[in-house]
Each structure stands twice: as C-alpha cells, then as structure tokens.
Structure 1
Amino acid sequence: MKTPILIAALFFSGLTLAQQKKQDTAKTQNIEAVTLKKQVFKKQSDRFVYDVAASPVAKGNTTFDLLKQTPLLSTTDDKTLKIAGKNNALIYINGRKTNMDADSLVQFLKNTPAENIQKIEVITVPGSEYQVESSDGIINIILKKKMSDGLNGNMRMANSQNKYNASSASFSANYRKDKLGISANLNGGENIDAQQYVLRNGNASSSNESTGNIDDPNKFIGGYLNIDYQLTEKSNLGLTWNSSANKSYNSTVSLFNTIRSLDPDTQEYNINYTNSRNKEDARSYNNSVNLNYELKTDSLGSKLNVNTAYLNYKRFQFTDNKTFYADALGNNLSIDPAQTIYQNLPQKINNFSGMVDYIQKFKNDLTISIGGNYNKTKTDNDTKNDTYKNGEEPEFNPNHFIYDENIYGFYLTAEKKFSDKFSGKIGTRYEITNSLGTSDNAAPEYKRIERNYNNLLPYVSLNYAINDKNNISYAFSSRMRRPSFWELNPVRNILTEDNYTQNNPFVKASSTYNQELTYMFKNSYFLILNHSLFKDVITQVPLQRDILKERRDANGNVVLDPVTNQPIMDSHKQLRYIRTNFGNKQEMSAMVGVQRSFFNQYLTTNFNIGVQRNVNDGSLSVDPTSGDVFPTYENKISSTSIIIQTNNTIRLDKKKTWFLGINYFFVDKQQIELGLLKNLMSLDVSLKKNWNDWTFALNLTDVLRTNIVEIEDYQANGNYNYVRNDQFRRGGTFSITYNFGNQKVKKVRSIEGASDAIKSRTR
C-alpha cells in the first residue's frame, strides 16, 4: 500500500536508480592482486573515485549491494541510497544518467550482477552541467571496457525471506558485431511489502491510537533495449527503450483505532473503538524512448551530444476505505460499515524532452561546456472520492486536476587545470519554469494555479594537491527542488477516518545552497565538512485539531441527551499530514573515514564516523489546500547526532573463493520535520562462494532487528504525535549468479535520456 505516511522517505528521501552487468572472469585471480594494491579510493577534482575492478566485493553481488559498500554511501531502508551529508543519490553510468523511472531502477539495481564495474565515482557537489535538484549528489558508475566482438551475459535468481517470501530473476545479454552493439535486460519477480504501524496523536482532552498491519503484494516485470551504431569514426547513433510494469492487487490496511475524549462535565474519558479496513488495487506502467546522437569534433575529446526523448507514465489506483464500529477486543459490532469511502486515483504523465551539450577542450588544459535542455510535461489526474455514511446522503467529490509545466535550462562551465597541483571549475545554470495547474471541480480560488519563476544557479569548485599524500578541495553550489508531480495532485490518501495525508497543488519550488570542504590523506583517509541551507523546505507537516462527532454506544448507536433528546457530541482528534513548504532548515556535518586493506588483503574495510547537526525553523497553522485553521505546529528545534558506518569483507581462503561480509550502520536520534527521529541501526552479514562462472551468496539483513522507525513530537500547545513503523527488514536472501559467453564484449554506450530529470518526479 503506497498511501500511508511514508515516514522513512521523508528523512531518507529520495529516489535512486540503475546499473548494468559484468566482468572478465577468465583473468579474475590475476587481476585481483594488482587491483587491491592500487589507490582504490582517491580524490580527483570534483569527485571521489573508488576502484572496485576485480575486487571480491563486486563478484556475485548485485549492483545495489556493491553501492551500499562504497565509501560515503549508505542506506537505511534498503531502497534508497544516501551520500554522506546529502539527501538523494542519483545514479549515472559512464557519465550519463540512467534512463529508467525510480521504481523500476530499484528493482533493476537489486537484480543486476555487479561484476562489470571498473570504478565508482561519488560526486558530492555536482557541477552546473548536471540536472540535479536540492542537495542531491551523483554516483557515477564506470563500466569496464571490453573490446572484442561476440556475445555475453548473465543470469541471476534470488529468493528472500523476511515476514513473507519473495523471489526474483534477471537475464542480461550484450552483443557486439563491428559497428553495431545491442544490449538487453529482462527482470521480474514478486514480493509482499509488509509494515506494522503504531500511531498515536492527541492531547490531554482527546486522543487517537491506531495499531495494525499493511500488506502490499507486488508483481513486477521490466527491462530495457539499447541499440548503438557507429556511423563514422567520429559519430554514433543510439536508441534506448525502457519499459516496466507493476501490479499491486489486494493491498490491505488493517488498523484498530481507540478514540478517547474527555467529558467536560464528569471529567471522565469516553472511549470509542473502530476498525479501519482498507483495500487497494493498483497498477503502473512506464515506457520511455530516447534517441541520442554523439559527434566527436577533435582529437582532444571535444564532442557534441544531442538527445530527444518521450516518456509515458500511467498509474491506476482504486481504494475502498471502510470504518466499522468495534468493541474493546477489536470485534466489529456490525457487518455493515459505518462509513465507506471509494477512491479512484489515476495519474497520467506525458513528457517530451530535448537536450544539447557541447564540450570544447583546449590544449592548455581548459575545458568549456555549454548546453541547454527543454522539458514539456503534462499530468492528468481525474480523481473521484465518494463517501457513504449510514443514514446520510452520499457525498461525491470528483476533482479533475491537469498540470502543465515547461522548463527551459541553460548552463555554461569552465574548467581549468592551472598546474599539476591546482585546478578549478566555475559555472552557472539558468532555469525558467512556467507551470499551470487547473481543477474543474475545485473552489474558485483553486481552479487555476499559475507559477512562473526564473533561477540563476552558480557553482564553483577548487582542488589543490598539496603533495602526493595530501589533497584539499572546496565546492559551492546552489540548486532548487521542484515538487514531484504526485505531490501537486490535490488528493487525500486515507489511512483511518480521522487520519489522512493531503497533497497540495500550491507547493512551490525550494532552494538549496551547499558548501563542502574536503581533506584527503594518502588516498585512504578523508575528512569532509559540509553545510546545506534549505529554503521553503518541501515536506509533510502533521496538523491536528479537535472536531465534534456524535457519541456512540457499544453497539454503534448514537447516544442522545436525556433532556434535549439531541445527539451528544464528543471532541475527536483529526490529524492531517499536509504536503507543503515548511520554513527553512540547515544541515551541517563533519565526517572522517578510511578505506583500505589490511593483512595482505585478507581484510578490506570501509569505515566512516561523523557528526551531523540539524537546525529546523518552520511553523504552520493553516491547511493551504482548504484554509482550515489548526493549532500551530512548530518545529524550531536543533539536534546533534552521530553517524557510523562500516563495511568489511574478509577473505576466508587463499584461493579467493570464500568471503565473509560484515556491515553495520548507526544513525543517532535527530530532529527532522515531523519530530524526533529515534536512532536506527542495522547489522548485516553475508557469505559468498565463487566457483568458476558461478557465484552463490547468502545475505542476512538487520540481524539484530533494530532498523525500526520511531518518531515522536511534543508541541508547546499540548499536542503530541507518535509513529512507529516496522518494515520487517530482518531477513535473508539466497542468490545464484551465472556468467556466460565471451567476457571481452565491448559494452554498448550508456546514454543519458533527455527526460531523466523528469522521471525522478513521477513517484
């Protein structure tokens, strides 16, 4: 069920993305000894470089597993990647952003073997040429170059067990003959996402408590087809098609609600019980096609890149939410619900994009880059919300919301290597955004929402190699974050009768200013100082107020006043999670770490420890979607927390066929927009066996069962809010990977799609 509060996503936002396949196995043992003696982790200009070629960490792992073990990278929800000091981590391949939507890429990352990776670049402060938002960083995956013609590929099967069993499989093939290259992938599987919630909110006079489970079954299939043809020695033409589908039928939410209200006359609490029974059927489809032309204009590496793309995304969601009066044991008092809400929540997105980049290199180590992009997007959301209550007329609330957006972007950067020790880069990006949201069933003030704004986004970075052991660098960038399309669609996602999330068409873009100072010693030890300022932060804000409802007896009947014979009204607590702009925020962090091998490469370790300070400054008292007034929700609290991450690979035999992995992370409690997020931690263990072209792996996650989200908040006005979300992360996965064919096949060019900047905003 996608509709609940999405607590983890609020903190570890963002969405991340993809990869491809494989590595030479015939020469693996000869290469390993050489590779591990190299500088496997180093700072280069505006990025960190992690050389993982032929490393035992890569073989038999998925791409997602490998990224989790890369220095500066971490994940707390096993779905999204986070760069230290950043929000989201965007995945690039060979300098090009991956051409898939977020949901499909997550599955692709977890179903694609990682043997083909040469190195991973972590760009903590991207330059002006990158279309990134907010404080996003970039993970650039460099694939191995394979030169001969032929066919190769891999097959992978995996089975996982946490609360429920899940299975997945993938098949990849790569073919090259002379000037033609073709690569393809097909992956699929099924799983049930399980969650357990405890929700409490209220004050001394009234409160709600909801406890129960969410089960979301999913069946998915996806893949891609890349065709690359060398027109001449200097030009290439590429076509990429990506497709994915997900079916989630019979998702269920089952919550038991306890509603308390203080009787002002008797000073005793009246307690009512209800059951919320939600069912949802949803399916989504994503198809995109991208055409790329690349022309090399000189021998220095200057080139022209032209992309055009089309993206079509569809999601169909049908829900019915039933509320039953219940007794203290959770038994329904009637077979008929007291209230039923039917919702039809479709989302359709069409996007056309174009992008032109030109890079001119000069002999004096100067590089000038110039380019532009255009995105035209239309979303169509024809929603229906029908409410039926016993003894009352049905209430129908349709809303047809259409959103049109045009984005024009231009950038210019200059990069200069002044000496072997000193280099710098300066640039700027100028973006023009014109958008119009229309709603044919809304109040007059909401029928037409027009936004036009321009942004100038400067960037600068400096890098100085003091000597062969010491390196220092500084970077500054300014970015903006546009709301995702689903955040703008003004619909309610109902959890219980009095608890729901509300999207907001009035959300405006936020601004972010990032600074980073980095020191590197011996290409193994590093210190990173980071500061980010966020203005008009886009987030969910919990607003709660008291509303009056008819008192019910144990059988669900209305209780009447014996004197007036009128229904007795009790105070109930209503909670809305409103998607909106919520003030400003600062994040400051200091991180020290080490990446190196010990004991003749029997132990490879990646260890980071740091401190992060969050400074929040936001308040809200009016629901911007309805104008309803609430007691002020305020978050002007700061927090300082410790973050620890360590990934260790232990070689168990001389032949380098058995490996033990021990990974651990700890995130101290810290203040976020929703309140105080309590500490999170997880211990993961893996065992891997390499045997010729086969790899067998067993991965155990969250062994101590400590990765459970808890958030609590107490307001000065007496309101409190508590959330506990258990996603059953403890589990195990057994996988088998087989590599076949000629392992020297040259990889097809990876091409950045012109619509990539739009895809991350679909979900």
Structure 2
Amino acid sequence: MKRTLLSIALIFGTFAFAQEKKTDTTKTKSIEGVTITKQVFKKQSDRFVYDVAASPVAKGNTTFDLLKQTPLLSSTDDKTLKIAGKNNALIYINGRKTNMDSESLVQFLKNTPAENIQKIEVITVPGSEYQVESSDGIINIVLKKKMSDGLSGNMRFSNTQSKYNASQTSFSANYRKNKLGISANLNGGENIQAQTYTLRNGTVDTSNESTGNIDDPNKNIGGYLNIDYQLTDNSNLALSWNTWANKSYNSTVSLFNTITNGGKTKYTWSKNKEDARSYNNSLNLNYELKTDSLGSKLNVNAAYLNYKRFQFTDNRTYASSINGEIGDKTTQVFQDLPQIINNFSGMVDYIQKFKNDLTISVGGNYNKTKTDNDSKSDTYSFDPVGSKSAPNHFIYDENIYGVYITAEKKFSDKFSGKIGTRYEITNSLGTSDNAPTEDLKRIKRNYNNILPYLSFNYAINDKNNLSYSFSSRMRRPSFWEINPVRNILTDDNYTQNNPFVKASSTYNQELTYMYKNSYFLILSHSFFKDAITQVPLQGYPESPNGNLGENPVLRYIRTNFGDKQEMSAMVGIQKSFFKQYLTTNFNIGVQHNINNGSLDTDPTTGDRFKNKEGDYIVYTNKTSSTSLLIQTNNTIRLDKKKTWFLGVNFFYVDKQQIELGMLKSLMSLDLSIKKTWNEWTFAVNVNDVLRTNIVKIEDFQANGNYNYIHQNQYPRSLTVSLTYNFGNQKVKKVRDIEGASDSIKSRTR
C-alpha cells in the first residue's frame, strides 16, 4: 500500500529545487567544538565543497539535519534528500557509497552527530567512475580523521507528534584498537504514516470521486556492523553487514466513492486492508591496496544482497447511500504479492596518480540479479455471484557489465579538467508462467550504451571561478515497476506496473559561476529520452478483441512517456554574518519544464479507451511551464557560549507542469530551537508551521477528460529529541566501503 500510494503522487523527484550540503577541509585540523572562523565554500572541477567543521550549525545537529540546511539540498518529506535539478541524491561516506538500504540510511544520517563531519562534497554531475542512473547526484560525507584508540558512541531518542505519535531510538558505537576498527549501530521505531486523499476524474459525461483516509502503521528495526582491519601499512580488508526489517500490518484505505455515469449516480465504499513485511540484508567484502606514495590504489569489492517483501491485500467494495451508510458487499479482491530479489555484484577500480598532476582511473563492475514475483489475485463478485482467479509467476533475470576510464589533469593553478566514458552492456529476460497475453510470457532485452563525461574548472582569479560539466546516463526501471501486478484503490481506480518498461536515457549539462566562495550562479539543462513515469489512462476500456467495458476506469500506468526537458537558473548565497551569530543559505531560481508525451494504449493489456460517444481517447502532455523556486535556511546563535540556537527554514515552489498534470505551488516554514550542554543536546523542531506542504495536481485534457489529486501527508509535526555522546570522541572512524551491489539495491525501492 505504501508503494501504491506513493506511486500515484511520486512527483517530488520532478522538481528541480533541492538543497545539498558541501564541505571542504583543506585548511582545517582536528576540531573540538565550532571554533574556526574561516568558512570555505567553493567549486572544484566536478564538485562543490563546503567546510562543515567551520560552520556554527554543526554543533548538536544530526547529519541529516545538517544536510537539509546546506546550499542546493533540501528534503520535502524528511525522508529523502534532493540535489537541485536531480531526481535523487546518493549518499557516499569517505568516497564510498553507503552499503545500506534507503530506510536504514535515513536512520543512520539522523543518528550520526554532525560534529563527526569534516567536509561534505556535492557532485551534481557525477563522472564516469560512478555507478549512477539518470540525473542522480552524489553527496560525499567526509568524516574527521581521529587516530586515538578507544570506544566512542552516541544514543539518541526522539518523539514526533503529527496526526499520530511516532518514536525513534538508536545506539551507535565505534571502537578502535591498533589495526582493528569496529563500528555498529542498532536503531528502531514505530509510526503510522497517515494520508488523506481526494481523487477526482472523469469526462464531460462521467465522473468518479474518491475521498478518504489511509493509515499505514510501521514498525522498524535495523542496523549495521562494519569491521576494518589494516593488513599492512598499504592494505586494508573490510567486511560490512547491513540489515533492515519493516512490518506494516493492518494498513488501511477507506475511500467513499461517488460515481456518475449516463446521468445516474451511485455511491460505494472501498475498504482495503494490507499486511506487509520486508527484509533487506547485504554483505560486502572490500580489499584496498595503496600502490605508491602519490595516492594510487586498487579497490576490489564483492557483495551479496537479499531483499524480501511479502504483501497480502484484502480489497472490499460495499454499496452505499448518499449519506455514507455502508450496505452490502459487492466485490472482494484478495492479492498475494511477494517479491524476492537476490543479487551478486563485483567491482574493481584502479586509480593511478602521476607526478605531473595527472590521474587515470580504470575499472569495471558486474551485477547479476534475479527477482521472483509469484503473485496471486482472486476476485469474488456478489452481485451477480461469480469469481475469477489471476495468478502470475513473473521471474526477471538481469546481467549488467560495465567498464570505465577517466583522465583528470590539473594544467595549472587556474585550470583543471576531467574526461571519461563508461560502457555498459545489459542482458535481461522476463518470463511469466501464466501471463494474460503471449507478449508477457517472455520478454527479452539486450542493449549496450556508451556514456561520455566531461568537466572543467577555471579559477579566473582569487574571487571568481567558472566550471562546466556534461554527462550521459541511463535510468533502468526499478524491479517493482516491471512486476506486472495491479495495486487496487477502488473497483475502477488502480495502478498498473509494466514489464515492458525499457531503460531511458538522460543528458545533463551544468554551468556554474562562483564569487568569493559564497555567491553562486548555476545554469543547468537535462534532456530525458523515453522518460519513465506514471500516466493516467481513463475511459471505457476496449480490449484487443473488441470487447468494451461497461464502466469507465482510471489506470495509473508505469510506462515510457515520450521526452522531457528541464532547464533551470539558480542564484544563491552561503555566508555567516555578525561574527557567526547568523548563518544563512539563500537560493532563488527559475525552472522551465518542457513535456512531450502521449499514450493511447495500455501497454500491458493492449486495451484502448473510448469516451461516451465511442471515440478513442489519447492522453497527451505536450505543455511547458516556468516556475519560481525559493529556499532559505537560517541558523541564529542566541548566546555567546554557543549553546542556544534558533533555526528558521522556508521553501517555496511555484506551480509547474509534470507528467500527471499541473502541480500546484508548495511551501513550508520550519522552526527549531536547540540547546547543547556538555555531551547532551536537546532539540525541538516544528515542521510545516503554516500547513502549506500539501500536494495538489490538476489536469484537463483537450478531449474533455480531467484528473485531480489532493494528497495531505500531514507534514506539520512537532519533534522532540535528546542526544548523548559518550566515550573518546577522537576515535578514528571505521572505513566505509561502497557495496558492489549498491547500484542494484537502489532499484528495490
């Protein structure tokens, strides 16, 4: 249910607004507290760099809170981080992708003290050496290097009140003794994700409105164990294990439906219940060998990933009166939707540094993935009496081979550049035991791609800097997107996954100008070919054999929907004033979206849709929009001892055209106050004070069809947290290793 509902309004990734943290430590040493006055924020050839250690906002914050307050990065849901113009932000630690699934990664960031961070690097256009998809960007968190032996850690407790109450707790420990380093984390919590929906669609002759509530209870537990051993002065061996479990039982949807067709109106209730649980375990082995004193090194990774999700739904429809009284049950649909993913991955990278400031990187990777989806769907009708069973065992095998080479050169103190390319081969086969059509029984795809990359950086003088980047990327569909199942909301309203979705291509360009390491201008352009998105098809469905449905339906279908372009211009400032009593990040920009897509056939069934007059209906989105984006994050120090801080954050996103229609404007005002006392930190956060961060999408087609979505996820919340740091805070952090399976893991969610 969680995935179903999010897929309907998964529009946050379409904004080009987002904020990101960046840090540099080239001029800092080991720091106790926040005593440095020099603040560094600059642009290198392929990344932004921001000095966290010199920032007054670090003390007592979590890493997640710190990231949300930095230039070019934001979170609209307090769960995901977005970089400006990027659909997603991948988290790296010390140059290696974190070997965690998305939910445990968020908990890790929310429970890691920001005092541990030396710098944060933001790579808006990643080079060929990175395994990223589409327009993904990278946040690289560089931890302070602490050499002392001993034990350190922290405990954190938090409680959040929104529509329902939620609690979270975590315990982290880090131990180092001579050549051995061990770090571990255990965290857990429970919450109820609440949403209120209004879904309205129809034509000039028909209409369907569904209004109601969704409650999704969750209990989570997870953690990680990292062991790092220094074999010799030049070699290290590391083992990482990450685990996460989620239980969501008795998740409910209760929607009151008003259906008008041919001048007649009927009322029904949709009462859906879901029990789901998921498990994500990954194991990674890493070997690193330094080959010379210049920094050349060899990295070898091997990883195994196992993901399991078990989902059972009971969808019931009841007759009703205009007053909402529940009558007889008319239909009932049982769905059993398990998914099991197994992945083995290997990765080898070699970096050779030369004395003439030239760096050559070469490497390769291999991913072998098998997903098993043994779905069952049983439909029972009570008026008239009847039943229908639709099992479907869909197995998807995928093999990805990739190699890359990059060359980076510093030509002078002012000019540096980087060039590279990545070559990928993808072989996939999807088979279905009992697919409804012959085309679905065996889906085989083999394709290869050459993905070039280029960037340069020119320091005009001490105050002015200019840089440019270009990259080409692919976006493969997530494994759940190609599992051909329906997720039902009402009898006539459901989402449909699509095994025929193919990989899309993305071409990114970015030009950046910086002044005095504090002011910046970013111009960016992204072109998406065969963009993967969700498209609403509605009307009377006509099957390929000519049978016409009696009632109009609305299907949200995952598919490749034409091409689109995103262009943006953003200016910003990151600076401290009044002897660091005020630290501000301010961004304002304009984004222009151009959509060019159309769809007239359900690609999974071959159904076409007709209106009341019998004419075929085509869903089109060939429109453009220009939007204003504003974001500001401000930290005010309230006392000389640097123990009281006030936070005032605000973002505004103007209305803009997305695939599902016109997304209305969004905004949020967030306030916080924080008190630090020795090793304790107490904080209170109030999010969405004005209750304005609510999704509204409206679409009117030339053929008379319309579609409206109103989604309130109750973003207004009050959070109280308490953090305690213990032990020797100078303990060196265990090496974090990029899991060879990380690029695959991101597609399980």
Category of TM-score, reference length = shorter chain: over 0.9
Which position in structure 1 is the counterpart of 2:614?
A: none
Spell out, residue by residue over 1:409-464, the C-alpha distance to the aligned partner (whole angstroms, 9 max, x if none): 00000000000000000000000000000001112221000000000000000100
Q: In the aligned structure 2, how far is the partner of 1:192 from the partner of 1:132?
A: 32
Q: Is the 8 A contact 1:206 1:546 kept in 2?
A: no
Q: Which amino acid aligns with 2:430?
A: G
Which position in structure 1 is the counterpart of 2:447?
A: 453
Q: Which amino acid aligns with 1:423?
A: S
Q: Which amino acid aligns with 1:678?
A: K
Which position in structure 1 is the counterpart of 2:407?
A: 414
Q: In the aligned structure 2, how far is the partner of 1:203 from the partner of 1:384?
A: 33
* C-alpha displacement of 1:13: 6.5
Q: Which amino acid aligns with 1:174?
A: N
Which position in structure 1 is the counterpart of 2:65?
A: 65
Q: Which amino acid aligns with 1:32?
A: V
Q: In the aligned structure 2, how far is the partner of 1:613 from the partner of 1:730?
A: 29
Q: Secondary structure at the match of 2:132?
A: coil
Which position in structure 2 is the counterpart of 1:659?
A: 645
Q: Which amino acid aligns with 2:701?
A: Q
Q: In the aligned structure 2, how far is the partner of 1:571 from the partner of 1:316?
A: 34
Q: Is the aligned partner of 1:377 residue 2:369?
A: yes
Give me the TM-score of the superposition, normalised by structure 2. Answer: 0.95
Q: In the aligned structure 1, how far is the partner of 2:592 from the partner of 2:303?
A: 41
Q: Is the 8 A contact 2:574 2:586 kept in 1?
A: yes
CA distance 1:28–1:649, change in 2 (3 Å): farther
Q: Is the 8 A contact 2:34 2:59 kept in 1?
A: no
Which position in structure 2 is the counterpart of 1:592?
A: 571
Q: Which amino acid aligns with 2:604?
A: T
Q: Is the 8 A contact 1:13 1:88 kept in 2?
A: no
Q: Is the 8 A contact 1:112 1:156 kept in 2?
A: no
Matches within 5 A, 1:129-528: 129-262=129-262, 269-334=263-328, 337-390=329-382, 391-442=384-435, 443-528=437-522
Q: Is the 8 A contact 1:260 1:572 kept in 2?
A: no
Spell out, residue by residue over 1:471-513, the C-alpha distance to the aligned partner (whole angstroms, 9 max, x if none): 0000100000000000000000000110000000000000000
* C-alpha displacement of 1:122: 0.7
Which position in structure 2 is the counterpart of 1:650?
A: 636
Q: In the aligned structure 2, how far is the partner of 1:231 from the partner of 1:204?
A: 73
The structure 2 residue matched to 1:607, chosen from 583, 586, 598, is 586
Q: In the aligned structure 2, how far is the partner of 1:229 from the partner of 1:105?
A: 23
Q: Secondary structure at the match of 1:754?
A: coil
* C-alpha displacement of 1:79: 1.8
Q: Secondary structure at the match of 2:10?
A: helix
- RMSD over aligned CA atoms reads 1.8
Q: Secondary structure at the match of 1:112?
A: coil
* C-alpha displacement of 1:32: 2.2
Spell out, residue by residue over 1:347-377, the C-alpha distance to the aligned partner (whole angstroms, 9 max, x if none): 0000000000000000000000000000000
Q: Which amino acid aligns with 2:713?
A: Q
Q: Which amino acid aligns with 2:339?
A: Q
Q: Which amino acid aligns with 2:38?
A: K
Q: Is the 8 A contact 1:81 1:88 kept in 2?
A: yes
Q: In the aligned structure 2, how far is the partner of 1:175 from the partner of 1:54?
A: 26
Which position in structure 2 is the counterpart of 1:32?
A: 34
Spell out, residue by residue over 1:7-58, the C-alpha distance to the aligned partner (whole angstroms, 9 max, x if none): 44233269x9x99xxx9xxx99965232x4232x111221111111163322
Which position in structure 1 is the counterpart of 2:717?
A: 731
Spell out, residue by residue over 1:169-216, the C-alpha distance to the aligned partner (whole angstroms, 9 max, x if none): 010000000000000000100000000000000011111000000000
* C-alpha displacement of 1:392: 2.8
Q: Secondary structure at the match of 1:622?
A: coil
The structure 1 residue matched to 2:597, chosen from 605, 615, 618, is 618
Q: Is the 8 A contact 1:28 1:54 kept in 2?
A: no
Q: Which amino acid aligns with 2:709?
A: V
Kindly, what percent of the aligned residue pairs are identical? Answer: 78
Q: In the aligned structure 1, how far is the partner of 2:148 from the partner of 2:330?
A: 69
Q: Is the aligned partner of 1:709 residue 2:695?
A: yes
Query: How many residue pairs end up in the alignment?
Result: 725
Which position in structure 2 is the counterpart of 1:741?
A: 727
Q: Which amino acid aligns with 1:371?
A: G
Q: In the aligned structure 2, how far is the partner of 1:216 from the partner of 1:110?
A: 22
Q: In the aligned structure 2, how far is the partner of 1:722 from the partner of 1:343?
A: 27
Q: In the aligned structure 1, how far is the partner of 2:198 from the partner of 2:524?
A: 35
Q: In the aligned structure 2, how far is the partner of 1:367 from the partner of 1:547?
A: 59
Q: Secondary structure at the match of 2:65?
A: helix
* C-alpha displacement of 1:118: 1.1
Q: Is the 8 A contact 2:158 2:721 kept in 1?
A: yes
Q: In the aligned structure 2, how far is the partner of 1:5 from the partner of 1:222?
A: 23
Q: Is the 8 A contact 1:193 1:216 kept in 2?
A: yes
Spell out, residue by residue over 1:598-628, the C-alpha distance to the aligned partner (whole angstroms, 9 max, x if none): 1111000000000000000000000000000
Q: In the aligned structure 1, how far is the partner of 2:6 from the partner of 2:48?
A: 35
Q: Secondary structure at the match of 1:33?
A: coil
Q: Is the aligned partner of 1:93 residue 2:93?
A: yes
Query: Structure 2 regions of 5+ residues with no counterpart?
Result: 543-547, 610-616
Question: Which 4+ residue blocks in structure 1 deviate beyond 4 angstroms?
Answer: 27-31
Q: Secondary structure at the match of 1:729?
A: coil
Which position in structure 2 is the counterpart of 1:565?
A: none
Q: In the aligned structure 2, how far is the partner of 1:252 from the partner of 1:136?
A: 33
Which position in structure 2 is the counterpart of 1:10?
A: 11
Q: Which amino acid aligns with 1:170?
A: S
Q: In the aligned structure 1, how far is the partner of 2:86 from the partner of 2:32?
A: 37
Spell out, residue by residue over 1:675-694, the C-alpha distance to the aligned partner (whole angstroms, 9 max, x if none): 00000000000000000000
Which position in structure 1 is the counterpart of 2:618?
A: 632
Q: Which amino acid aligns with 1:719?
A: N
